[in-house]
Amino acid sequence: MEIIIITMFILGYLAITLEHSTKIDKLVPALIMMVLCWATVSLGIDHFQHWYNPAEGLVDAFKLMTHDSKMELFEESMLHHFGKTAEILIFLMGAMAIVEMIDHFKGFETIKKLISTKSKRRLLWVVTILSFILSAIIDNLTTTIVMITVLRKLIEDKNTRMWYTGMVIIAANAGGAWTPIGDVTTTMLWMADKVTSLKLIEHVLLPSLANVLIPVAIASFLPVFKGDVAQVSSESVKAPHGRFMLILGLVLIVFVPIFKTITHLPPYAGMMLSLSIFALIGEIVSRKSIKLTNQVADPQHTLHEGPTMRALSKIEIPSILFFLGILMAVAAMESVGMIYFFGQSVSAAIPQDLFVTLLGISSAIIDNVPLVAAGIGMFQEATDMQIWHFIAYAAGTGGSILIIGSAAGVVAMGMEKIPFFWYLKNISLLALLGYLGGVGVMLLMK
């Protein structure tokens, strides 16, 4: 039965990686893979020799249990995994909604106004530093979209803009790796109680800085970043509340880890509080009704025009469902003990540091979400042990090595039509040097 599950996972993941060729959204194979994996576990429950209960660890007497007892354990485990996955998804939806509302008020136009230099080299440093800082707060994917939008208003030449976009991908992924809200993988580790906010920042900030500073320092001497930029002439967008809503949104997102530390409530609770406060102020600022009903009474003037409903309608539901499929499929393999025993085998065969380094490099090809999900079930170390910080760094930054290795790279590829081999030729080596430099700093800190 284990072979059947592995085969379905491999075929499903292959379909996900071929999304651009098959033109089938990756959420489809992810959801099919999830359901088939759990269905196989349910139908073959009596054929499995082991069971891994998240609350108790490996259940030694599983094969001696009755069928009814096994099914009870199965339902308990599935509900547990679904609950933990739902916490992550609700958290992400709240963050996405806040970002969409900031965009509704043209808050990100403020970032463009901060960039006044015409020097290509200076612009490179300003753009990468902004990407690094911003991605630590609003996540690497959103940061990439925002920065590409800003670059389009600053640089007219497409080839030059692709170079800057490549550096934005590296900076955004590096920036997202050192905070619990900067990347979905660090959020997963944080919500699984593998890392705490302060320790994650303490142990991953310096490696992440090395990851971005090494490529930018090298790129500063490349011919493409010499001289001045031929800027695009464009009219400024009126955004009377943009700066205020941008600052408010960023403050409320940063407030989430603080709220968790004080109250010990799950992170999604803090995110829902921040979202509700931001939505309330947004509705007041835009002079819209704060009630979520009354759409029938006045169909010509409904809440779909307000920032709250508009932001909720723009949330990337396909991405949310994709994460659901991937995380629950990995949970199925974890429940039957496959990931646990694989972790034991790996630990006996090669050093953990080498394994995590290779995990980061492999995240350039394989999506980092299932890699981190597997890692959580693979290792049993306590909260804030070095391996969890290393996984956060490796999985968060290793995807920069190839343009298809991270969500930031994929969205940049689509927005700027960057060829795979152009990125491989011009950016991949810089990203690899930055990644290895960060690994070196991580090991020195250990």
Tell me, yes or no, whether 5 lies in a domain.
no
pLDDT surpassing 90 at residue 65: no
Q: How many CA atoms lie within 13 A of 20 on its CB side?
A: 9
Rounded to whole angstroms, the Cα distance separating 163 from 172 reads: 14
- Give the model confidence (pLDDT) of 298-349 as tens digits: 444 444 456 777 777 777 788 788 888 888 888 888 888 887 777 777 777 8
Mean pLDDT on 220-230: 86
As for how many domains the chain has, the answer is: 1
Eight-class DSSP state of 367: -
Q: Are 148 and 412 in contact (CB under 8 A)?
A: yes
- Give the model confidence (pLDDT) of 74-113 as tens digits: 998 899 889 888 888 888 788 888 888 888 888 877 777 7
Tell me, yes or no, whether 47 lies in a domain.
no
Burial of 103 (0-12, 13-18, 19+ CB in 10 A): buried
pLDDT score of 390: 94
pLDDT score of 288: 52
Q: Give the position of tokens 């085998």.
A: 345
Which CA distances in Å does 402 have to 73, 144, 252, 398? 41, 15, 33, 9
pLDDT surpassing 60 at residue 295: no
Tell me, yes or no, whether 410 lies in a domain.
yes
Express as a percent the part of the chain with pLDDT over 70.
91
Which CA distances in Å does 445 have to 353, 386, 440? 13, 10, 9
pLDDT score of 433: 96
Q: Which of 15, 72, 6 is nearest to 40 (CA)?
A: 6
| Positive or negative: CA dihedral 278, 282, 285, 288 | negative
Q: Are 140 and 175 in contact (CB under 8 A)?
A: yes
Q: Are 229 and 129 in contact (CB under 8 A)?
A: no
Q: Are 208 and 202 in contact (CB under 8 A)?
A: no
Express as a percent the part of the chain with pLDDT over 90.
28
pLDDT surpassing 90 at residue 256: no
Rounded to whole angstroms, the Cα distance separating 441 from 434 reads: 11
Q: Alpha helices, DSSP H only, in 363-406? A: 368-378, 386-397
Tell me, yes or no, whether 143 lies in a domain.
yes
Tell me, yes or no, whether 321 lies in a domain.
no
Tell me, what amino acid is at 419? P
Tell me, what amino acid is at 286? S
Tell me, yes or no, whether 103 lies in a domain.
yes
For β-strands 57-58 and 52-53, DSSP reports them as: antiparallel
Tell me, yes or no, whether 10 lies in a domain.
no
Tell me, yes or no, whether 39 lies in a domain.
no
Q: What is the mean pLDDT of the chain?
A: 84
pLDDT score of 303: 43
Who's near 84: CB < 8 A, 6+ residues apart?
54, 191, 192
- Please give the residue range of the domain that contains residue 134: 83-316+337-445
Q: Alpha helices, DSSP H only, in 120-266? A: 120-138, 140-152, 158-176, 184-191, 197-219, 242-263
Is residue 227 helix, strand or coil?
coil
Rounded to whole angstroms, the Cα distance separating 281 from 233 reads: 34
pTM assigned to the model = 0.76
